[in-house]
Amino acid sequence: MITAPDFAKKQIVFVMFSEGEKLAFSNDNLIVKNTDGSVKFQCTCYRLFIVFAVGNCSITSVIIQKAKKFGFFIALMTGGFRLYELIGAEKDGNTLLKRKQYVYEGIEIAKIITCNKISNQLYLLKSNRNKSDSVKEAILTIEGYKQNISNVQTLNELMAYEGLASKLYFRNHFNNILWSGRQPRLKRNAINSTLDIGYTLLFSFLDALLCSYGFDTYCGVMHRQYYMRKSLVCDFIEPFRPLIDAQIKKAINLKQLTDNDYTIINYQYRLKWSENAKYISVLMEPIIENKDQIFLYVQTYYRAFMKDASIDYYPQYYIGGDK
């Protein structure tokens, strides 16, 4: 398995494909070729961790073989950033890990993940220099929800507190815009569509990390099994969502992201193709800046889970550093 020093040198690459372009391989390099055969992009396979292929492209069996050999992933995404396939360096043979996943029925790990997420949400709210009365009240209420989590006995109770905290958090975090509520995947406005894009990029990165250790990403500890849902990735993304939230609020304040970047199709806000590169650059910035910490989070979780360690040994990630 990949080590932290090796991962620190790995690259995350995005390629926006136009019609007729394809992935190729030459001299241990991954190459993107234009329709005329000229080279659009080139990167050594030894430095790759994941290639996000956005749009339609041609890919050969040789590329898949090389991805497995060199240990990198290829994330195939639609032009709207929907991940539909992840191929490459999966460690499907880690049967001992999967057996442990299938028999785990506790809620202690779910509780620590939820508390970690709420801690990061609170950090962002407390970072406001000029807190309104609404923000101050939200902080106190959310802190109360967090304290109550230690006493919950069921996942339904836990998810209820998580939902209440998130609803209050979003309303006060995005106080720089006209907030109408979080509506995942409905794309009713630009802010919800932007959140969907940012979370999808984070989801795909975590999906690759979990697959590199051999986790069954459909078997979660907080989001339990649901048909065709990668529940474990849904779990792992939770503490890191505020990274995306903070970046989007910052980008809106700097007018890097605006409603004009979108077009409305069937009452849904769809990002213009011409704006894709800008949004990737902005939304991937906090992920790339924190990629080593995210890797260590997954690695530490893996080691604790495999050893049936006490909950105190499970990782937590704090945006502001140590708790």
| Residue 322 pLDDT | 67
Instruction: List the one residue out of 161, 246, 255, 241 whose CA is nearest residue 206.
Output: 241
Across 82-211, the runs of DSSP E, i.e. the strands, are: 83-87
| Residue 290 pLDDT | 95
Q: Domains of the chain by range and CATH?
A: 4-87 (3.100.10.20), 95-313 (1.20.120.920)
Mean pLDDT in residue range 127-152: 94
Mean pLDDT in residue range 212-235: 91
Mean pLDDT in residue range 254-267: 92
Cα–Cα distance measured from residue 76 to residue 84, given in angstroms and rounded to the nearest whole number: 6
CB atoms within 10 A of CB 183: 14
Task: For 130-140, write each residue's pLDDT tens digit.
Answer: 889 999 999 99
Residue 108 burial (10 A CB sphere; 0-12, 13-18, 19+):
exposed
Task: Count H helices and E strands in the chain, helices first.
Answer: 11, 9
- Rounded to 10 degrees, what is the CA torsion of 184, 199, 277, 79? -50
Cα–Cα distance measured from residue 52 to residue 16, given in angstroms and rounded to the nearest whole number: 8
Instruction: List the one residue out of 208, 213, 202 whose CA is nearest residue 290.
Output: 202
pTM reported for the whole predicted model: 0.92
Task: For 154-211, write each residue's pLDDT tens digit.
Answer: 999 999 999 999 999 999 999 877 777 788 878 888 999 999 999 999 999 999 999 9
Checking DSSP bridges between strand 83-87 and strand 73-77, what pairing results, if any? antiparallel
Cα–Cα distance measured from residue 12 to residue 202, given in angstroms and rounded to the nearest whole number: 12
- Backbone dihedral region for residue 216 (phi beyond 0: left; psi -120 to 50: alpha; all else: beta): beta
**Amino acid in the structure at residue 163:** G
